[in-house]
Amino acid sequence: QDRVCFPSQAERATARFPGARLEWLDRCGHFPQWDRPEEAVRLILAATGNAATGTSEARGVQSPAAGPDSAA
């Protein structure tokens, strides 16, 4: 559902960034950290060599409805 980077651009992106890994996320637009925060955190931690444990809330990730001034 990304309206900035279309699925048809995947081949070009993987050719330009040969060491990158492409991940398809269902029901996700251009901002996976908002649309799929737990999955985005899991992928980032896996790519950086950290173990993804617990929930996103336990790691300090806010849900899309939570703003910077909301209480956790």
Distances (CA, A) of 20 to 5, 14, 23, 66: 16, 7, 10, 31
Q: Is the pTM of this model over 0.85?
A: no
End-to-end CA distance of the chain: 29
Q: What is the mean pLDDT of each run of 10 residues along the chain (72 residues)?
A: 86 91 89 94 90 48 49 48
Give the 3-state secondary structure of residue 35: helix
Say how far residue 66 (Cα) sits from the centre of its chain: 17
How far, in Å, CA of 67 to CA of 26, rounded? 24
Distances (CA, A) of 34 to 4, 5, 40: 15, 16, 9
